[in-house]
Amino acid sequence: MFDDDQAVLQPRDKSRESIFLGAVVHIGDESQSRNVRVRNISSGGMMIDLPGPQPRGLLVIAEMKGIGEVRGQIVWSTENRAGIAFEEIIDPKLARHTPVSAPAIPFYAKPVLSHVDTSRRPGLGIR
């Protein structure tokens, strides 16, 4: 963990990724995790939609696609949002990770069509 005021005293990272990303967070001593929306993320923290104000310094464990599990604490909170400072630096660009598409079928694996009948439309059966 880090000192309660450490995250507030450090200058904020100016490069934030504005993003709408889903995350599952576990806050403090709550027994249930919550699904939340991440509004923006940087290497040192994130802003999430979170109903109701939360106490400053509360432990947060967040699970995000592309990033994995991240631990931090609440550094500010309003009626519907909260700022989380991470314990460790992350790469926020991983949150924008796009799924890898299926590789193209190589030429040698494609079927060979020796005869193509162009007199009728493909897909129509003969009656």
- 62: containing domain: 6-96
Supply the pTM of this predicted model: 0.64
Number of C-beta neighbours around residue 92 at 10 A: 24
In whole angstroms, give the CA distance from residue 54 to residue 49. Answer: 12
Closest CA to 43 of 97, 99, 94: 94
Task: Decide if 75 is inside a domain.
Answer: yes
Which residue carries 């994995």 as its tokens? 68
Structure tokens at 66: 């592309």
Q: What's the pLDDT at 56?
A: 94
Closest CA to 19 of 79, 86, 93: 93
Q: What's the pLDDT at 2?
A: 47
Task: Decide if 89 is inside a domain.
Answer: yes
Residue 4 has pLDDT above 50, yes or no: no
Task: Decide if 49 is inside a domain.
Answer: yes
Task: Decide if 102 is inside a domain.
Answer: no
